[in-house]
Chain A
C-alpha cells in the first residue's frame, strides 16, 4: 500500500512536471497525425493542430510536425517568434480556408521561420502566408499553391524576408505580394502560373536563381504613391505575358528594376515593359541578358528610361525594341 501510494505520488509529480512546460514554455512543441490537443504537445504526447502547439511553445521555440498530415482547420495566428517545420520526409500540410490565410503572422517584432510546409487552398482563401506585422520571415522548402489571394503577402515596413528553395504556384493574385517597405531576398524559388509572379509596391527586392514562368506579369514593379526597387539576377522569366513590368502613376513614384544575367524567353507580349505614366519615373537597367522568342524584347512608354550595358543578346523576337529607346550605360 505504502509503496503504491509513493508510486502514485511520483506519478502525480511527473504529470505535474510535464504540465508546467505545456503552459507556454516548451522549447519544442510537437504535432502528429495521431496527437491530441488535450496533450501537452511533448514528443511523447504530441498535439494534433498548430494552434495548440503555438499556445504551448515558448517565444523563440520550434514546432515540429512529426508525420505527414494536415495541421490546421482554420487560419493559424502566429503572435510569437517561432519556427514551424515538418521534419524531413514528412509533408506538413496546412490549408488556407474559410476566407482566411493559412498562416497569419501579426505581432510586432516577431521572427518566424517556416520550413518544409505545403499550404493549399480549401474552399475559400486569402493568402498562404499573411505577414502583416513582424520583424523577419524566413520561408524555406515550402510549396504554396492555389490561393485566391497571393501565396505570400508581406507588408511590414522595415521587415526582412528571405524565401528560398520554394514553389509558389497557381495563386490567383500573386505568387508573392510585397506591399510594404520590406527588404526581401528570393533565391531558388519557382513562381509558376500565378496571376502575376511577384508584385512589389514599395519593397526592396532581390531575386536570384529563380524561375518565373507562366504568370501574367513575371515581376511587376508597381509604383503607386510608392517606390519599388527590384533586382533580378541570374533568373529565368519565360512564358509570361510580360516578363518584367514596371509602371508609375503618381508624382514622386519611382519604379526601378535591374535585370541582369537572366534569360527572358517566350514571353507573349514583351520580355521587358517600362511603363512610366504621366507622373513618376520608371527606370530599368538591363545587362548580360538573353532575350529570345518574345513577341517584343523591350517596350513600354516613350517617357521611360531603359539603360543597357550593350551586352544583351536579342534574337528571334517578333520585334526587339518597340516605342522605347535604349540608353547606353557605361560600366565602371
Chain B
C-alpha cells in the first residue's frame, strides 16, 4: 500500500513536472504518425499534428517530425520563432487545403526555419508557405508542388528570406517576393509553374546555381513602385515562353537586373526588358550563354531600357540575337 502510494505520488509529481513543459515551454516538441494531440509533445509522448506542437514548443524552439506522415489538417499558423523539420529519413508532409495556405507565418519579428518538408496541394489551396509577417524565413531541402497560388510567398515587411536546395513546381508562381523583402535563393529548382521567379515592387533577390525550367515565365522581375533588384548567377533558364523579363509599369519604379554566368536556352524570348516613361529598367549581362531562343534579347518600351554587356555573352542559335534596341558596352574595372 505504501509503496503504491509512493508510486502514485511520484506519478503525480512527474505529471506535474511534465505539465508546465507541455504548456508552451518545450525546447523541442515532437510529432509522429502515432502521436496524439492530447499528449505533451515530448519525445516519449509525441503529438500528432503541427498545431499542437506549435502550442507546446517554446519560442525559438524546434519541432521534429519523427516519421513519415502528414502533419496538418488545415492551415498551420506560425506566430512564434521556431524551426520545423522532418528528421532525416522521414518525409514530413504538410498539405495546403480548404482554400488556405499550408504554412502561414504571421507575427512580428519572428524567425522561422523549415527543413526537409514536402508541401502539396489537397483539394483546394492557396500558398505553400506564406511569409506575411516576420523577420526571417529559412527554407531548406523542401519540395513544394501543385499549390494553386504561390509556392513560397514572401511579403513580410523587412523580411529576410533564404531558400536552398528546394524544388517548387506546378504552382501559379514558384517564389514571389514584394516590398522590402530581401531573399537569397541557392540551388533551387523552379519548374512547370506559371511564373518561376516573381520578385516585384522593391524586393531584392539573389539567385545562384539554380534551375528555372519550363515555366511560362521563368523569371518575371517587375516594379510598379519601388526599386526591384535581382541578381541571377550560374543558373539554367530554359524552356519558357518568356525567359527573364524585367519591366516597370508606373512612374518612379525601377528594376535593376544583373545576369551573370547563366545559360539561357530554349525560351521564346531569352531576356526581355521594357520600361515606361518616368521609370528605369536596367539589365547587366555578363558571361551568359544565350542560345536557342526565339529572340535572345528583346528591348521594348519608350524610352527603351538599358541593357549593359561586358561584351562577353555568347549568343547563337537564336532566331534573332537582339531586337528592338542595342546593347550598351560596360567596361570592366
Residues of A with Cβ closer than 8 Å to B? 27-28, 43, 60, 62, 64, 66, 83, 85, 87-89, 111, 113, 115, 136, 138, 140, 160, 162, 164, 183, 185, 187, 204, 206, 208-209, 229, 231, 233-234, 256, 258, 260-261, 283, 285, 287, 307, 309, 329, 331-332
Closest CB in chain B relative to A185 CB, distance in Å: 4
Smallest CB gap from A86: residue in B: B91
User: With A and B bound together, what is the CA distance between A136 and B289 in angstroms?
Assistant: 26
Contacts A60-B121, A258-B316 given; 10 further ones with Cβ under 8 A? A64-B68, A83-B120, A83-B145, A113-B169, A160-B191, A185-B214, A229-B266, A258-B291, A258-B292, A283-B317
Is there an interface contact between B213 and A160, defined as CB atoms closer than 8 Å? yes
Is there an interface contact between A185 and B239, defined as CB atoms closer than 8 Å? yes
User: A256: which B residues are within 8 A, CB to CB?
Assistant: 292, 317
User: How many inter-chain contacts with C-beta < 8 Å in the A-B complex?
Assistant: 140
User: With A and B bound together, what is the CA distance between A277 and B70 in angstroms?
Assistant: 57
Is there an interface contact between A208 and B211, defined as CB atoms closer than 8 Å? yes
Closest CB in chain A relative to B250 CB, distance in Å: 31
Closest CB in chain B relative to A144 CB, distance in Å: 19
User: B312: which A residues are within 8 A, CB to CB?
Assistant: 331
1/0 contact trace for B11-53 toward A, CB 8 Å? 0000000000000000000000100000000000000000000
The A-contacting residues of B in range 186-226, CB under 8 angstroms, are 189, 191-192, 209, 211, 213-214
- The one of B91, B170, B292 in contact with A111, judged by C-beta atoms closer than 8 angstroms, is B170
Residues of B with Cβ closer than 8 Å to A? 33, 68-70, 86, 88-91, 95, 116, 120-123, 143, 145-146, 167, 169-170, 189, 191-192, 209, 211, 213-214, 234, 236, 238-239, 261, 263, 265-266, 289, 291-292, 309, 311-317, 321-322, 327
User: B120: which A residues are within 8 A, CB to CB?
Assistant: 62, 83
User: With A and B bound together, what is the CA distance between A209 and B210 in angstroms?
Assistant: 10
Is there an interface contact between B68 and A206, defined as CB atoms closer than 8 Å? no
User: B321: which A residues are within 8 A, CB to CB?
Assistant: 332
Is there an interface contact between B266 and A162, defined as CB atoms closer than 8 Å? no
User: With A and B bound together, what is the CA distance between A113 and B261 in angstroms?
Assistant: 29
Q: Main SS of the interface on chain A?
A: strand
User: B122: which A residues are within 8 A, CB to CB?
Assistant: 27
User: A258: which B residues are within 8 A, CB to CB?
Assistant: 263, 265, 289, 291-292, 314, 316-317
With A88-B89, A88-B90, A187-B189 known as contacts, the answer to whether A332 contacts B327 (CB < 8 A) is yes
Is there an interface contact between A332 and B69, defined as CB atoms closer than 8 Å? no
User: A283: which B residues are within 8 A, CB to CB?
Assistant: 316-317
- The one of A83, A88, A185, A260 in contact with B238, judged by C-beta atoms closer than 8 angstroms, is A185
User: With A and B bound together, what is the CA distance between A138 and B291 in angstroms?
Assistant: 23
- The one of B90, B95, B189, B292 in contact with A162, judged by C-beta atoms closer than 8 angstroms, is B189
User: A83: which B residues are within 8 A, CB to CB?
Assistant: 120, 145
With A89-B89, A162-B213, A285-B317 known as contacts, the answer to whether A28 contacts B70 (CB < 8 A) is yes
Which 7 residue pairs of A and B lie closest in terms of their CB atoms, listed nearest first? A89-B89, A185-B213, A160-B214, A183-B239, A87-B68, A233-B263, A87-B91
Is there an interface contact between B192 and A285, defined as CB atoms closer than 8 Å? no
Closest CB in chain B relative to A113 CB, distance in Å: 7
With A64-B68, A229-B292 known as contacts, the answer to whether A309 contacts B314 (CB < 8 A) is yes
User: With A and B bound together, what is the CA distance between A258 and B313 in angstroms?
Assistant: 13
Is there an interface contact between B213 and A89, defined as CB atoms closer than 8 Å? no
Is there an interface contact between B263 and A208, defined as CB atoms closer than 8 Å? yes
Closest CB in chain A relative to B239 CB, distance in Å: 4
Closest CB in chain B relative to A168 CB, distance in Å: 18
User: With A and B bound together, what is the CA distance between A84 and B3 in angstroms?
Assistant: 55
Closest CB in chain B relative to A88 CB, distance in Å: 5
Q: List 27 A-B contacts (CB under 8 A).
A: A87-B68, A88-B90, A88-B91, A89-B89, A89-B90, A136-B214, A160-B192, A160-B213, A162-B169, A164-B189, A185-B238, A187-B189, A206-B266, A208-B236, A231-B238, A233-B263, A234-B234, A256-B317, A258-B265, A258-B291, A258-B316, A260-B289, A283-B317, A329-B316, A331-B313, A332-B313, A332-B321
User: With A and B bound together, what is the CA distance between A27 and B123 in angstroms?
Assistant: 9
